[in-house]
Amino acid sequence: MIEACIRTKRDKIVSYEISGHAESGEYGHDVVCAAVSVLSITTANNIYEMARIKPVTQMEDGYLYVEIPLSIPEKQGVLAQTLLEAFANSMKAVEKSYGQYITLKFENGGQ
């Protein structure tokens, strides 16, 4: 089971964390794992390449953590939020279609 958590603070996405394996198919043929991997890694890469923000990241086998630094210029922050909202919407779609293999939760870090 993949467990994904998207954290917000002041109505902005500040980080996401993904762990586990979907095990919805044989290794190399697991479409759920592939979808989540592509979405999460592409989002982190686009935050870096497009928004020019170097996110805090940690990656190990079956684990990815991505966090946006708190103090970034507003224009970069707006683009990063657009990318992160697209990621969140895509993850919701994966969970809707493959809920038996993925759990998605949102945590609000407050003000």
Q: What is the pLDDT of residue 111?
A: 53
State yes or no: is 5 an active-site residue.
no
Provide the 10 A C-beta neighbour count for residue 43: 23
Which pLDDT value is given to residue 64? 97
What pLDDT is attached to residue 109? Answer: 78
Q: Domain coordinates of the chain in residue numbers?
A: 2-106
Chain segment 17-72, per-residue pLDDT in tens: 999 998 887 777 789 999 999 999 999 999 999 999 999 999 998 999 999 998 99
29 labelled catalytic: no
This prediction's pTM: 0.92
pLDDT band at 81, cuts 50/70/90? very high
Catalytic choice (7, 9, 12, 21): 21
Distance from chain centroid for Cα 2 = 12
Residue among 13, 18, 22, 33 flagged as catalytic: 33
Residue type at 66? V
DSSP state of 74: H
Are 104 and 92 spatial neighbours (Cβ–Cβ below 8 Å)? Answer: yes
**The CATH number of the domain covering residues in 2-106:** 3.30.70.1490
